[in-house]
Chain A
Amino acid sequence: MTGPSMTTAPAVELRNVTLAYHTFVAVKDVSLSIRKGEFVTLLGPSGCGKTTILRSIAGLVQPTGGEISVAGRRIDNVPIHKRNIGLVFQNYALFPHKSIFDNIAFGLKYRKVEKAEIARKVKRALDMVRLPGVEKKLPSEMSGGQQQRIALARAIVIEPDVLLLDEPLSALDANLREEMRTELKIIQREVGITTIFVTHDQEEALAMSDRIVVMNKGEIEQLGTPEDVYRRPETRFVASFLGQSNLLPGRITAIADGQARVQLDGGPEIIAAAPASARAGAAVTVVVRAQKVTIGAGSKAMPGKVISASYLGGTAAYFVESGGIRLQSNATIDERVWREGEAVGITINPADCLLLDEKGDRLV
């Protein structure tokens, strides 16, 4: 653990990993390097290959190409039971016929740990997940949240090189999910364990991760900190998948003073901050988060009309129309809630606009 090569080698490394089920390619040429102690989330829509990546690191499926290393050791040809990896499943997968003690002790037994030491470690693991004294119970006697904590304890107690979590919170109800989210993050910090977390819940991903891997159709779309992927989406997919965004196609008519004038297709003109590579005449897509579209009575603003309005307490969600295009606006309520059919002024700060090129990649 302390050798010089260990400190430099990434905790987990995937190099050009590809995996096909028969002819269907579920994971395409994925490369990924994770530092020790990092919490990385695989985020993406259903069927994009998140579970498949996790299962290939665990050894439950065999990649058709590429290399996987854990703690500097090639593992893609090592059988699963020799990989030293902690796995937590969506439905906990606690052994139903074994007591909580035997569940947690299971991995230790195969690591030739002494009886007394096993008892001590199990107790410490249960303290860590805040469930002391449940050793003798059966999994069926525990609630979903408790079972998931036991599953976590069982995976961590073997001191794995990496902890893999496949949608561990999605079977819990909303309140419990939020609570477990915090708790899981605290435990992960405490233990300092490298963690790969799979979810299709973006809020979960943004709240918990050091870095997020946004995936689509078996490929990595973007890899970055939560702020990176949220505020600076690199592709059209990321821009539309995270949060609610307006994607407005158009063409740059002029560039001046670091600002681009964009004529939206079949709509009004909009001013966006111009990245260095922006050129006049280029076809682009303007991306604006719905929260950054504000509406008010202002006269300087772009004129528009409210098509629909939903009151959400602190904020309101609107669809507004302006010169033939439709915009989504989720704004905090400053003046009042605008009603359907009302004429309003739409304001978009040029700094809040990102530009994508024709291929859907962000201009920089």
Chain B
Amino acid sequence: MNAVAESRGLGWRLVQVFTVLVYVFMFAPIMVVVILSFNDSQFGGFPMTGISFRWYAKLMENDAVLRAFQTSIIVALITAVICSALGVLGALALVRYEFPGKEWINTILIAPALVPETVLGVGLLLLMRWAEQPRTLWLLVLGHIMLALPYVVLVVQARLIGIKRVYEEAALSLGANRIQTFREITLPLLMPAVVASLLLVFTISFDNITASMFWRPSGVETMPTQILSMLKVSISPEINALGTLMIIVTVGLPLIGGGLARYLARSGR
């Protein structure tokens, strides 16, 4: 009796320790980056020699970094808007209408999420070369749309299935045409999914490195490719500051958006 309780207590302890270890493993690198970004030392590692914002200040003077940051933000914003719009329309067609080849189109839309990014990167690049098109920022946007579209379609589809068709039917019977019904009924009820997909696409695009390396126009850097090229030269503490900023963007934005989506979902129900 006592032994059983003891062994259960021991098992429970082990689980606790393990959980803590997993969290440490996951978050230690992030913490290290954030902490070191405030390190006064010349070298991008421990020990801490003092606390300062000098690496952030230096970052603000670094034109290449600022340009890369700007590029990433613009690409991510454009991608998010276009991709979400396409995703909503696609999901709407797939969920609400019957047409031949529907299953196939669904599979094809989801496929880019399953194919390795490197393959997609090379593929799109070869296609562009074959079509004799230059590598422009639009190619990058196009590529990011392709990468993120499956997730948008999945997110919006899931929500759309949950929106009962009778709402739309009721609106139609009351005299609203299809477009008015979409604007007044479907879209507002879909809003949480739209917000979620905007954020999702933004982060997917903003974070992407593998595919971006293939697709970016020559001489143009995105944030992740910029960091990579900086690392090739030296491990400057600037990178820690940059990393911290990226963490703030890619974690903070979804948190804000998640809260917003939850608020919309609640007021929408």
Interface residues of A (CB under 8 A from B): 58-60, 79-87, 89, 91, 93, 95-97, 106-107, 110-111, 140, 154-155, 158
- Besides A87-B169, A155-B174, 11 more A-B contacts (Cβ < 8 Å) are A58-B169, A84-B175, A93-B166, A95-B170, A106-B171, A106-B176, A110-B174, A110-B175, A140-B269, A154-B174, A155-B173
Report the bound CA distance from A198 to B166 in whole Å. 16
Contacting A at CB under 8 A, from B250-269, are 267-269
Pair B167/A93 contact, Cβ less than 8 Å = yes
Contacts A91-B166, A95-B167, A96-B269; A110 near B180 (Cβ below 8 A) = yes
A94 to nearest B CB, angstroms?
Answer: 8
**Contacts of B171 on A, CB cut-off 8 Å?**
95, 106
Q: Are the C-beta atoms of B170 and A93 separated by less than 8 Å?
A: yes
Max count, chain B CB within 10 A of own CB: residue among A79, A80, A84, A155: A80
B189, A96: Cβ atoms closer than 8 Å: yes
Question: Nearest-CB distance from A302 to chain B (Å)?
Answer: 54
Question: Is B188 interfacial (CB-CB < 8 Å)?
Answer: yes
Residue of A whose beta carbon sits closest to that of B170: A93
Q: Is the interface of B mostly helix, strand, loop or mixed?
A: helix
Query: What number of A-B contacts does a CB cutoff of 8 Å give?
Result: 68
Closest to A160 in B: B173
Contact indicator A87/B176 (Cβ below 8 Å): no
Instruction: Tell me which residues across on chain B come within 8 A of A87, comparing CB atoms.
Output: 169-170, 173
Bound-state CA distance A96–B267 (Å) is 9
What residues of chain A lie closer than 8 Å to B178, measured between beta carbons? 81
Interface CB pairs A-B, < 8 A, 13: A58-B173, A60-B172, A80-B169, A81-B172, A81-B173, A81-B174, A85-B173, A86-B173, A95-B170, A97-B188, A97-B189, A97-B267, A154-B170
Digitize B150-169: 1 where CB-to-A-CB distance is under 8 Å, 0 elsewhere: 00000000000000101101
Shortest Cβ distance from B163 into A: residue = A96
A311→B269 CA distance, assembly (Å): 47
Give the complex CA separation of A170 and B112 in angstroms: 46
A95-B173 in contact (CB<8A): no
B70 at the interface (CB under 8 A from A): no
Kindly list chain A residues whose C-beta atoms are within 8 Å of the C-beta of B174: 81, 106-107, 110, 154-155, 158
The yes or no answer to B62 lying at the interface (CB within 8 A) is no
Closest to B269 in A: A96
A contact residues around B172 at 8 Å (CB): 59-60, 80-81
Bound-state Cα–Cα, A79 to B189, Å: 24
